[in-house]
Structures are given as structure tokens and as C-alpha cells.
Amino acid sequence: MAVILIVEDNDMNLDMLSRRLKRKGYDILDARDGQAGVDRAFEDKPDLILMDMSLPVLDGWQATRMIKSNPETAGIPVVALTAHAMASDREKAMDAGCDAFYTKPIELPGLLDIILDLLSR
């Protein structure tokens, strides 16, 4: 089954999303700040990354740029997860290299559609 890295600093969001995706059969890795997410992506090379954009240490935009600029991790799909729902927020995430954009609160069926689509490419 696919390995998904969740980069999320909110413990409740991380726990909820991890448990729900594990029940769907995914293997889950986690990181609690942007730098830890980059380190984990470089080391573990997950199949997909769910990236909160407002993170401590290194924000999700910077972390995504670092992941996408490394040839070994550039092909890993990154889904931006954010509470910022403006069109400019989506554009900023896509400019950073994200492959998809999803606004919080997370409704699992919609997020699963994005995950399945990106993993099937």
C-alpha cells in the first residue's frame, strides 16, 4: 500500500487524519514542522505528501520548494492542506510546486479522491 507523509503541526488534526487514512489501508509517516517534513521526505521518499502550509520552523511553501527542487523527491506529489481558501492562496501553493490544493476542514471523501488521482499518475 502507498506510504503517505503527513506534515502537520496540530496534534489533533494529525491524529485524526492518520487514523482515518490507516483505516483506508495507507501506511502513514508524520512530521510536525516543515524542516522535519523535508528531512523525512528526503530519507523515506513517501509516495505522496500531505503538507500543511502554516508550519513552524519552515513553512509549507518553503518545504515544498525544497522537496520539489531535489531530483530524488521532485516527483513525489504534494497536496497543500490549508485553512486559507482564497484563490491567491491556491496560486501561491501551486507556484511553490504543490500538485493539488485542499482546504480545511478536511472531508475525507474529497481528499481521498485527490490522493487516488495523484497516486494513479
> Tell me: the pLDDT tens digits for 40-54?
999 999 999 999 999
72-81 per-position pLDDT tens digit: 999 999 999 9
**Domain parsing of the chain, residue ranges:** 3-120
**Single pTM value for the model:** 0.96
Q: How far is residue 121's CA from residue 100's CA, in Å, rounded to a whole number?
A: 13
d(Cα 56, Cα 115) in Å, to the nearest integer?
A: 25
Domain covering 3-120 assigned CATH 3.40.50.2300 in the classification = yes
